Amino acid sequence: MANKLYVGGLSWDTTDASLKDAFSQAGAVVSASVVTDRMSGRSRGFGFVEYGTDEEAAAAIEMWNGKELDGRAISVSEARPMGDRPARTGGSSFGGGSRGGNSQGRGGFSRDRGDRQW
């Protein structure tokens, strides 16, 4: 088992300090961080807690998984390394695609007043 835990379902009000304080009940917390959005600075609703030993991490999972923290039921599990996650699919892409248009493939939108010809 790894010493680093994933904590999901966090309240928007949970901070690094409050996460560390809560998880200190299970053992000595090496680090605790709530992941935040780069643009807004708001919590993304999950974080990570790291312990010094596997036993402390296992105790934290047992103590906190499914329990309530700051008014929300949280999930606690062993954190997976970045490479073990499945590839993301979907989402938006910038560029490509068709915007409709005329027979020359120039799109259907023109800022011209119509007095020019392509």
Over the stretch 31-87, which tens digit does the pLDDT of each residue have?
999 999 999 999 999 999 999 999 999 999 999 999 999 999 999 999 988 776 666
CA 13/CA 38 separation, integer angstroms: 17
Residue-range domains of the chain with CATH: 4-81 (3.30.70.330)
pTM of the model: 0.69
pLDDT of amino acid 82: 77
State the Cα torsion 74-76-81-85 to the nearest 10°. Answer: -60
Residues in the chain: 118
User: How far is the CA of 18 from the CAs of 81, 92, 105, in angstroms?
Assistant: 25, 35, 57
